[in-house]
Amino acid sequence: LTVAGDGGQTRSLCYVDDTVDGVLALAASRETGPVNIGGSDEITMLELARRIVDLTGSGSRIRFVERPVDDPGRRRPDTTLARERLGWRPRTDWNEGLERTIGWFAHAVAA
- What pLDDT is recorded for position 45? 98
pLDDT for res 98: 97
- The per-residue pLDDT for 66 is 98
Question: How many residues can be counted in the chain?
Answer: 111
Give residue-wise pLDDT tens across range 83-99.
999 999 999 999 999 99
- Residue ranges for the chain with pLDDT beneath 50: none
Q: Which domain holds residue 45?
A: 2-110
**Could you tell me which of 33, 13, 11, 42 has the C-alpha nearest to residue 86?**
33
CATH label of the domain that carries residue 34: 3.90.25.10
- Whole-prediction pTM value? 0.87
> CA 80, CA 66: separation in Å to the nearest integer?
34
What pLDDT does residue 72 have? Answer: 95
DSSP 12: E
CB 40 within 8 Å of CB 13: no
| Number of separate domains in the chain | 1
The pLDDT of residue 111: 81
Which DSSP string do the residues of 29-98 spell out, in sequence order?
A: S---S--------EEEHHHHHHHHHHHHT--PPPEEEPPPTT--SEE----HHHHHHH-----S-HHHHH
DSSP single-letter state for residue 108: H
